[in-house]
Amino acid sequence: MDADRARELLAAERQRIEQAIAVLSQDEHEADTEESEPGELGSQELLQTELDSGLAEDLAEQLAAVERAEARLDAGTYGVSVDSGKPIPDERLEALPTAERTVEEQEALRR
């Protein structure tokens, strides 16, 4: 994949993730500032807090993957599997710019 195209894809992915983090942070701040009566917190709010926490962790992991991909791009190893050194097809990188492995390697890793 062309380095300029890779930078464009990674920049778009970074922007998407950072916007999602900002929205989540704003939602959490608004929820914190809402007034509620003692004992009013119910299981629904607890569930939402847990979901938001999981989403925040997932977004942090996605952002770290973008940073690793950017580092590989700078090092000249972007588009090459971190495990085998085999090329990652451009179609996969278009769909998942942060891909670190070929589809086959990723599936084998999940097993």
Using one digit for the tens of pLDDT, what is the confidence trace for 29-73? 565 555 555 555 566 666 666 677 778 899 999 999 999 999 999
The predicted structure's pLDDT at residue 25? 84
Q: How many domains does the chain have?
A: 1
The predicted structure's pLDDT at residue 81? 98
Using one digit for the tens of pLDDT, what is the confidence trace for 13-32? 999 999 999 998 886 656 55
What is the distance between the alpha carbons of residues 70 and 1, in angstroms, rounded to a whole number?
14
What is the distance between the alpha carbons of residues 98 and 64, in angstroms, rounded to a whole number?
10
Domain range for residue 13?
Answer: 3-110
- Supply 67's token pair: 């940073």
The predicted structure's pLDDT at residue 71? 98
pLDDT at 108 over 60: yes
What CATH number did the domain enclosing 9 receive?
Answer: 1.20.120.910
Q: Which helix (H) or strand (E) holds 75?
A: helix 43-75
DSSP per-residue letters across 43-64: HHHHHHHHHHHHHHHHHHHHHH
The predicted structure's pLDDT at residue 29? 57
Residue 90 has what DSSP assignment?
Answer: H
The predicted structure's pLDDT at residue 47? 60
